[in-house]
Amino acid sequence: MKANIAEKVLADDIEKVLLSSEDIKRRVAELGRQISEDYKDKDVVLVGILRGAFVFLADLIREISIPVETDFIAISSYGSSSTTSGVVRILKDLDEDIEGRDVLIIEDILDTGLTLKYLVKNLSSRRPASLEICSFIVKECKQSVAISLKYLGYTVPNRFVVGYGLDYAQRYRNLPFVGTLKPYVYERDEI
Ligand code: PRP
C-alpha cells in the first residue's frame, strides 16, 4: 500500500508520459538483441555512467544473450544543476583495465553532449580495441558537440524529462516510465 502511495505522489508531478514502461521494455529488448548480434565475437565491456544509466543498464544486460562484463564510472559535472559545463570530475573510476577490450558506453541521456565528449576522450586514451556509445535518450536539437552513437533508444523533445534513471534533484529515478516534469516542481525550487 505504501509503495502505491509513493508512486502516486511521484507520478502526480509528471506533466506528460513520453515513454511508457511497455514501450521502454520493447525498445530495450530490441537494443539487447542488436548488441548481442553485433558483439558476438567480441570481448565486450559495458561501461555504465553513474548515476543515471544504472536503470537502463540493469534492464539492458538482461536482454543481452552473449557473455559481457560490466564496469562503472561515476562522474560529476561542474556547473549548475540544470546545465553541463563539460568540465567533468571522475568520482569513481573504472575498476578494470579496458586496454584491448571492446567497450560500449551505456548512458541514460545525451543532452549537450559535453559529458560524452569528455568520456570518449578519456576512455580512448586507455587504448580499447573499440569504443562505442549506446544512449537510451537523446534530446532533440540540443547537442553543442557532435557525438556519434552506435545505439539509440529514443529521441525526446528538448524538455526536462525524468524517470527510468533520470532525475530532478536526485528524485524520480525510480519511475518506470519517462515523462516531462510539471513546471511547478522546478519553479518552486527557484524561489
Ligand atoms: C546527466 C546524464 C549524462 C549527462 C548528459 O548526468 O546522465 O551523464 O547529464 O548531459 P550532457 O550531454 O549535457 O553532458 P547528471 O550530471 O545529471 O548526473 P546523473 O547521471 O547522476 O543523473
pTM of the prediction?
Answer: 0.91
pLDDT of residue 127: 98
Distance CA(151)–CA(31), nearest Å, equals 7
Q: Which three cell numbers stand for residue 94?
A: 573504472
Residue 109, ligand 1, Cβ within 6 A: yes
User: Where are the chain's structural domains?
Assistant: 2-190
Cell numbers linked to 66? 552473449
One-letter amino acid for residue 43 of the chain: D
Q: Which of 59, 102, 108, 111 is catalytic?
A: 111
Question: Residues with Cβ < 8 Å from 60, sequence gap 6 or more?
Answer: 28, 31, 32, 35, 46, 106, 134
| pLDDT reported for residue 184 | 87
Distance of alpha carbon 45 from the chain centroid: 16
b (16+ CB within 10 A) / e for 154-187 = bebeeebbbbbbbbbeeebbebebbbbbeeebee
Model pLDDT, residue 80: 54
- Check if 111 is active-site: yes
**How many other β-carbons are positioned within 10 Å of the β-carbon of residue 106?**
23
110 lines ligand 1 (CB under 6 A): yes
User: What number does CATH give the domain 2-190?
Assistant: 3.40.50.2020
The pLDDT tens digits along the chain (191 residues) read 455 555 666 778 999 999 999 999 999 999 999 999 999 999 999 999 999 999 999 999 999 999 999 999 999 876 555 556 667 889 999 999 999 999 999 999 999 898 999 999 999 999 999 999 999 999 997 677 889 999 999 999 999 999 999 999 999 999 999 999 998 888 877 65
Q: Where are the beta strands (DSSP E) in 140-191?
A: 151-156, 161-162, 178-181
Instruction: Work out the burial of residue 63: count CB atoms within 10 Å of its CB; fewer than 13 is exposed, 13-18 middle, 19 or more buried.
Output: middle
Q: Residue 46 forms beta bridges with which residues?
A: 70, 104
Please state, in angstroms and rounded to a whole number, the distance separating the CA atoms of residues 96 and 128. 12
**Residue 1: predicted pLDDT:** 47
What is the rounded distance in angstroms from the CA atom of residue 105 to the CA atom of residue 102? 10
Atom of ligand 1 nearest to the CA of 166: 22
